[in-house]
Amino acid sequence: MSSAANSQGAFQFGVAGMGVMGASIALNVADRGFKVAAWDRHPEKIDAIHAKHGHPEMKGTGSLAEFVQMLERPRRILLMVTAGAPVDSMMEQLAPLLSPGDVLIDGGNSWFLDTQRREKAFREKGLHFIGMGVSGGEEGARHGPSLMPGGPAEAYALIRPVVEAIAARAESGLCVTHVGPDGAGHFVKMVHNGIEYADMQLLAETYDVLRRGLGLSADALADTFAKWNEGIAESFLLETTIKVLRKKDSETGKPLVDLVLDKAGQKGTGKWTVQVSLDLGIPVPSIAAALDARNLSAMKEERVAASAKLPAPPLSLTDEEKANLVSWAHDALYAARVVTYAQGMRLIQAASKEYRWNVSLAEMARIWRGGCIIRAKLLSPLREAFTQQPELPNLVVSDAFAPVLTKMAPAWRRLVGTAVRLGIPVPVFTSSLAYLDSYRSPELPQNLTQAQRDAFGAHTYQRRDKPEAGFVHSDWS
Ligand SMILES: NC(=O)C1=CN([C@@H]2O[C@H](COP(=O)(O)OP(=O)(O)OC[C@H]3O[C@@H](n4cnc5c(N)ncnc54)[C@H](OP(=O)(O)O)[C@@H]3O)[C@@H](O)[C@H]2O)C=CC1
Ligand SMILES: O=C(CO)[C@H](O)[C@H](O)COP(=O)(O)O
């Protein structure tokens, strides 16, 4: 390890935790000319980073006390450790070593209520705490992530030169902004990941319908998606899908994707998004369906057993379907993606009101335009929509998207209809369409729901013809 001796107070930024993300961000900060102190509980990891990258602006130590002493004051430390108990443990160890006014940033995918609690605890000690969402994976962290910091404005001012230096640069500007106080940054990052789940599942469903329905190979699908990626559907996740579909297994020469077991993992941010949506009463059915799709995929053995008892319908397409399925899938993917982003933005809007964060949705769209996993062309009109109407109740009714959704809905319905007829599951296409249909329906059948509730449990209901009567009860016998 490079020696940290005689370097007291000489380092401008500290990174604690040299895992995938911590090491990449530390190198990114050092690339920008900041002197970086690195810490890890296994200091040999810092040696390995030095052996591979040998960055002159970065030095490391396995001693937390030495790490803190290496930093200039007020200290700026990024914690990049596993979310949950490790963050609390690190805070407990660091707090006695820090001085008033120092800033600790948690860059992991932490639960926003934990961030609120941690920010309060640090504030009471005279220390600053920032919960910062980081997106872009290893590559983004190394060369330009999208950053979503939440915490006290005066603490953000202290870290701003560093985060602005390392963030991605998009046509919309630097992909970082002060999201709001306490847990705002981590909330926004959580919703970002929820949208990520839904968008990934839409791509998986598109792949499945075209693969099973039309029998397209991985290469043919990659070619189709590559054409789409030159138009309005352009996105990082579509680009990643093309890359994945083109990869061949070195042992067998087969498309590697065909050898990957169809059981999806998850680390929890999608689940949190759905849990919070239930608490706030804001529907995010596309994200919930994507989460359930991962959960169902994990039941591999049960699915295999069920397939023997529940045969699928025959895979036969009409000539019209054969001729149009690709273009229906394109429009359905774009339109359903708009609806999933709309749900995520609506959830952020509701939480911002609930917690008084004053989050700018236009700014979130701006900082997601580069660096992050859900960066996509549609974020430009999305940003414009929220710039023109910051209190827009739902993106689907914006001037930018309502006409596009109306134009694309027929193709979307045809894609869903075909998939349903063939027995190919398309849960996010379906639930997103049902969301749109529900949202645009002046009449819903919940008059019956209310009547049922009153009939079996005297839960009362409101009359359309007598709104002034308030809640009433009837004898339904
Ligand atoms: N990977 C990604 O693409 C992204 C990850 N994130 C988030 O960033 C955070 C870090 O992720 P990532 O770098 O991928 O994870 P890694 O598993 O690569 O790194 C986690 C780091 O945390 C350290 N650590 C774990 N427990 C403790 C502890 N109790 N005390 C001290 N150090 C500890 C690990 O040390 P050790 O090796 O010794 O166990 C390791 O250095 C997570 O919250 C993750 O959700 C955010 C955006 C993208
Ligand atoms: O934060 C990220 C991107 O911004 C991670 O890549 C994402 O959390 C992966 O989540 P999961 O493992 O649940 O699919």
Nearest to 170 by CA among 464, 371, 381: 371
Options 119, 196, 321, 363, the catalytic residue: 196
Q: Ligand 1 center to residue 159 CA distance, Å?
A: 21
> What's the token pair of residue 161?
């030169």
Ligand 2 contacts CB of residue 266 (under 6 A): yes
Which residue's CA is minimally distant from atom 7 of ligand 2?
Answer: 193
Position 8 scores a pLDDT of 74
Q: Is the CB of 295 under 6 A from ligand 2?
A: no
Whether residue 171 lies in the annotated active site: no
Range 189-439 classified under CATH 3.40.50.150? no
Binding site membership of 452 for ligand 2 (Cβ less than 6 Å): no
* CA 69–ligand 2 middle distance (angstroms): 33
C-alpha 425 to ligand 1 mean position (Å): 34
The letter for the amino acid at 452 is Q
Distance from C-alpha of 84 to C-alpha of 230, rounded to nearest angstrom:
40
Domains 13-182 and 189-439 share a fold: no
Pick the residue whose CA is nearest to atom 11 on ligand 2: 266
Give the separation between CA 343 and CA 22, rounded to whole angstroms.
Answer: 31
The pTM score is 0.97
Q: Where do the structural domains in the chain lie, given as residue ranges?
A: 13-182, 189-439
The token pair that represents 169 in the structure block: 């640069």
What does the pLDDT read at residue 7?
63
CA–CA dist 107, 25 (Å, integer): 10
d(Cα 468, Cα 370) in Å, to the nearest integer?
51
Pocket test for ligand 1, best of 44, 45, 82 (most atoms within 8 A of CB): 82
Q: Give the pLDDT confidence score for residue 61 in this predicted structure.
A: 96
Residue found by looking up tokens 């579909």 in the block: 245
Q: Would you state the structure tokens that stand for residue 300, as one six-digit string?
A: 């591999």
- Token output for 39: 């810490």
Q: What is the ipTM of this complex?
A: 0.98
The answer to whether the CB of 273 is under 6 A from ligand 2 is: no
Q: What is the reported pLDDT for 6? A: 44
- For ligand 1, what atom is nearest to the CA of residue 137? 3
The rounded Å distance from CA 22 to ligand 2 centre is: 15
Residue tagged 């449990």 (tokens):
457
**What is the rounded CA–CA span in Å between residue 143 and residue 166?**
7
In whole angstroms, give the CA distance from residue 228 to residue 238. Answer: 9
How many whole angstroms separate alpha carbon 349 and alpha carbon 391? 8
State the pLDDT at residue 54. 83
Read off φ and ψ for residue 301, nearest 5 degrees. Answer: -65, -40
Residue 466 is among the residues annotated as catalytic for this protein: no
Report how far residue 363's alpha carbon sits from residue 178's, in angstroms, rounded to the nearest whole number. 9
pLDDT on residue 334: 98
Shortest-distance ligand to the CA of residue 269: 2
CA–centroid distance for 103 within its chain: 25
DSSP state of 212: I
Alpha carbon of 10 to those of 13, 49, 201: distances in Å?
A: 9, 21, 47
**What separation in Å is there between the alpha carbon of 81 and the centre of ligand 1?**
4
Q: Is 137 in the pocket of ligand 2 (CB under 6 A)?
A: yes
Task: Ligand 2, residue 197: give the atom nearest the CA.
Answer: 14
Contact predicate 145/175, CB 8 Å: yes
CATH tag, 13-182: 3.40.50.720
Per-residue pLDDT of the chain (477 residues), as tens digits, is 444 444 678 999 999 999 999 999 999 999 999 999 999 999 999 999 989 988 889 999 999 999 999 999 999 999 999 999 999 999 999 999 999 999 999 999 999 999 999 999 999 999 999 999 999 999 999 999 999 999 999 999 999 999 999 999 999 999 999 999 999 999 999 999 999 999 999 999 999 999 999 999 999 999 999 999 999 999 999 999 999 999 999 999 999 999 999 999 999 999 999 999 999 999 999 999 999 999 999 999 999 999 999 999 999 999 999 999 999 999 999 999 999 999 999 999 999 999 999 999 999 999 999 999 999 999 999 999 999 999 999 999 999 999 999 999 999 999 999 999 999 999 999 999 999 999 999 999 999 999 999 999 999 999 999 999 999 999 999
